[in-house]
Amino acid sequence: MRALAIAVIIVGMAATADASSSCHEVSPIVGRRHCSRFGASWSSERSIAWELGLASMRFDLAPIDTHAMLSDGTQVHLVTHTTRAHALAMRWRSDYTLARRFYVGTEVTFGKLTSLPDLIVEPAARTGDPLAPQTRGWEVNGILDAGTFEWIGPIRIGAEIALGPHFEVLARSDLVTQCAQGGLAVEARATASTWLSPRWSVNAMVGSSLLARDTYSITLGLGLHLFPYDGGR
């Protein structure tokens, strides 16, 4: 009985698959049918992918001229000068493919400033203070992006626009308060990626700011895809 039941199930599945076939006649000539591609029943133009990457960013930090408090309660005057800053950060992206060549996404970046100005306490600002505590800094941003792409052989190339707020925080161990600045980031980006396996890809991205001169970012990341090949094969 078990063997008979299994046989009935198999025959029923085969009949259902044949009945749900998307082939249809395209001319009066018998046998000339048009059929959907293999895998169309489970693939989709919509997909979700996540990417974790390492980002290198270069940008300008605005000068700081403010009052702050030392750990002993003393009110001081803090200054810096405009300078180029560099940050190394972890970047987490979530991309949602809405059509075969269009996607939107979100992005969060958090990292450390590796090149930044010193927070100088006046009147030491006039003469310099080699014994001053080292200045530390962090970069944080949240981005919305939208882009398009095209496959050229095994390589996917694309372009996207990204915008969102960014924040830079500077601190010293002898200061109670921290110095923060930020603004709106708008980047034009070029992307490239290729598959490592049906669900994993390696990705590269180069972005250039549309608001600030000589401000750019480079990202290398590893992507995980909800559907094999994003449902495209």
Contact 83, 123 (CB under 8 A): no
Average pLDDT, integer, range 201-211: 97
CATH number, domain 44-231, options 1.10.110.30, 3.40.50.2300, 2.40.160.20, 3.30.460.10: 2.40.160.20
Residue 117 pLDDT class (50, 70, 90 cuts): confident
Chain position carrying tokens 């996607």: 103
CA distance 132 to 70: 12
End-to-end CA distance of the chain: 40
Helices (H), 55-201: 124-127
Average pLDDT, integer, range 202-228: 94
Tokens of 194: 């290729």
Q: Tell me the domain boundaries of the chain.
A: 1-36, 44-231
pLDDT in tens, 156-184: 999 999 999 999 999 988 888 788 899 99
Tokens of 96: 């949602």
Give strand ranges (E) for 4-46.
24-25, 33-34
pLDDT at position 124: 57
Residue 100: closest CA among 211, 231, 9: 231
Least confident range from 23-27, 49-53, 117-121: namely 23-27
Kind and range of the H or E run holding 208:
strand 200-209
Q: What is the pTM of this model?
A: 0.74
What Å distances lie between residue 35 and 41, 46, 164, 212, 231, CA to CA? 12, 21, 45, 52, 18
